[in-house]
Amino acid sequence: MRFHEHHLANGLPVIAELNDEVHSAAIGFFVRTGSRDETPEVAGVSHFLEHMAFKGTEKYSADDVNRIFDEIGAKYNASTSEEVTLFYAAVLPEYLPRAFEILASLMRPTLREEDFGLEKQVILEEIGMYEDMPTFTAYEKAMGAHFAGHPLGNSILGTNDSISQLSVEQMRAYHAARYQAGNISLAVTGRADWEQIVALTEQHCGGWSNTPCPRITDEAEPEGKVIVYPKEGNLQQHVMQLAKAPPATSDLRYVADMLAVIVGDDSGSRLYWELVDPGHAEAAEVGFNEYDGSGTWLTYLSCAPEETLTNLGRIQSVYERVNKEGVTADEIEQARNNVLSRIVLRSERPMGRLASLGSNWVYRNEYRSVMDDLETYRSITTEDIRELLTRYPFSQLTTVAVGPLESLS
């Protein structure tokens, strides 16, 4: 593995971790923009814009973009989160220049009025689709409730109203404000030539403008609440709970990752043995999510409606105990083996490395090799876990339930 770094004059960073042992290369443009960067009038614009990027430029129509990616056999897609919009493609090395050119062109889309109107329908259908998925509904409502008044509470998809009323001019203004060279990181992994990457970047991205893209990253101070969204006709109850956890820049994030595996992995964790193994719940998990300036413990419970309150009590007991007593060295050892093998397996594919490489850069401006990560996880002790729990104990601060129940009391 070889790491390379280059900065264009306009501020665009290019980073690469190259490896001749693999068969493919992956490219990702990580744009530091998402729902948290939206005002209420344009709720959902980041995600809508991600779709519109594929509608092409003056040079390439939407059909061209789809066709060319398919012609070179690219595995490509895009995603939008609260904070990052990612455009990526994995290709065989000989197609890297072509994939690069098209992917880079997505960063400067024309945003035609007629495409905008048609794609709006697709977005409204996507909102409809997610409304038929109770887990997603619970997640989105929980984020909204937990981060009420803070930008991280903004909905990624927006609403039927906000999307219906959005104009193409508003989208163009948002694009101009957020897709600035200094607000984008380009990451490349796998089998590729560094000189060629630099040349391609200069050629296709060198003309991008750069003005500052501010983002307020104050740590959220959620107050907590309980909200129930009844869904008539549903059979299972889905509950999401959120609490404060370390932000993305905290050194405690690795400790948090490992603690989440010990307490809330989908199998072999404390929640698993207390709730899932005995058949009390279909799922009972906790994960750690990091954001710019904030972080969350995200608890997910899926169970029969009549068992919900008892199960939330069981989760509370698990949390109280771990907050008070910490975890054992043996639990750390077991979780470590699990985490280490996950990292190694993921790193065997360029696409698997891309997310890690890009996120480290976007959030922390740093490069970390697989070995660095392995070393950090190996060094975690019970004392580190205690320190984390003192500052960020598990809790059930915000609760959102979606399913047959009318209330949670």
Partner 1 sequence: MADLTIQSHIFDNGLTLLVEPMRSVQSASFSLAVPAGVIYEEEGQNASAAILCDLMVRGAGDLDNRSLSDHLDHLGLQRSESVGWNHISFSGATLAENLLPALQIYADIVRRPHLPEDQFSAVVTGVEHSLRAAEDEPRQKVIIELRRRCYDDPWGRPSDGALSDLPRISLPTVRALYERGVRPNGAILGIAGNVDFDAVRDTVESVLGDWERSQDVPVIRGGRGPRRDHISSDSNQTHIGLAYDAVPYRDEDYYAAWAAVSVLSGGSSSRLFTEVRERRGLCYSVYATLNSLLDEGRVLAYAGTTPERAQETLDVTVEEIRKLAEGIQPAELDRCKAGAKSALIMQQESTGARAASITRDWFHLRRVVPLDEVHDRIDRLSVDDVLRYVRQHPPDDLTLLTIGPEALEVPDEVS
- Residues near partner 1 (CB under 8 A): 21-24, 54, 62-63, 65-67, 69-75, 90-92, 95, 118-126, 128-129, 131-134, 231-236, 267-268, 273, 276-282, 302-304, 333-335, 337-338, 340-342, 344-345, 348-350, 403
Q: How far is the CB of 363 from partner 1 (least distance, A)?
A: 25
* Residue 249 near residue 256 (C-beta atoms within 8 A): no
**3-state SS, one letter per residue, for 177-234:** HHCCHHHEEEEEEECCCHHHHHHHHHHHHCCCCCCCCCCCCCCCCCCCCEEEEECCCC
- Least separation, in Å, of the C-beta of 390 and partner 1? 27
If the CB atoms of residues 169 and 348 are measured against partner 1, the closer one turns out to be: 348
Smallest gap from Cβ 18 to partner 1, in A, equals 14
Q: Shortest Cβ distance from residue 374 to partner 1 (Å)?
A: 11
Shortest approach of partner 1 to residue 81 CB, angstroms? Answer: 18
For partner 1, the closer CB: 202 or 282: 282
Nearest CA among 176, 177, 184 for reference residue 12: 184
Q: CB count, 10 Å around CB of 151? A: 23
Looking only at the bridges linking them, the beta strands covering 75-80 and 25-31 are unpaired
Nearer to partner 1 by Cβ, of 100 and 147: the residue is 100
Q: Which is nearer to partner 1, 278 or 313 (CB)?
A: 278
Q: Which is nearer to partner 1, 12 or 89 (CB)?
A: 89
Considering the complex, state which of residue 143 and residue 276 has its C-beta at the smaller distance from partner 1.
276
Which residue in 116, 60, 101, 52 sits closest to 78, CA to CA? 52
Residue 167 structure tokens: 């104009």
Name the minimum Å distance from CB 359 to partner 1.
20
Q: Name the residue nearer to partner 1 (CB basis): 72 or 148.
A: 72
332 touches 258 (CB < 8 A): yes
Please tell me the distance from the alpha carbon of residue 143 to that of residue 136, in angstroms, as a whole number: 11
CB atoms inside a 10 Å sphere around CB 338: 18
> Pairing relation of β-strands 85-91 and 13-18?
unpaired
CB of 236 to partner 1, least distance (A): 5
User: What minimum distance in Å lies between the beta carbon of 281 and partner 1?
Assistant: 7
Nearest approach in angstroms of CB 22 to partner 1 is: 6
CA pair distance 309, 65, nearest whole angstrom = 50
User: CA 62, CA 56: separation in Å to the nearest integer?
Assistant: 5
By beta-carbon proximity to partner 1, the closer residue of 5 and 70 is 70
Residue type, 173: A
DSSP strand E in 263-321: where? 283-290, 295-303
| Residue among 220 and 339 whose Cβ is closer to partner 1 | 339
Rounded Cα distance between 74 and 94, Å, is: 11
Residue type (1 letter), 114 = E
d(CA 95, CA 74): 8
Three-class DSSP category at 298: strand
Nearer to partner 1, 8 or 171 (CB): 171
Tally of CB atoms within 10 A around 270: 20
Least separation in angstroms between residue 120's CB and partner 1 is 7
DSSP state letter for 300:
E
Q: Give the residue with the Cβ less far from partner 1, 7 or 342.
A: 342
Distances (CA, A) of 362 to 108, 188, 190, 237, 349: 20, 14, 19, 36, 21
What is the residue-wise DSSP string for 108-125? S----HHHHHHHHHHHHH
Residue 125 C-beta: closest distance to partner 1, Å: 4
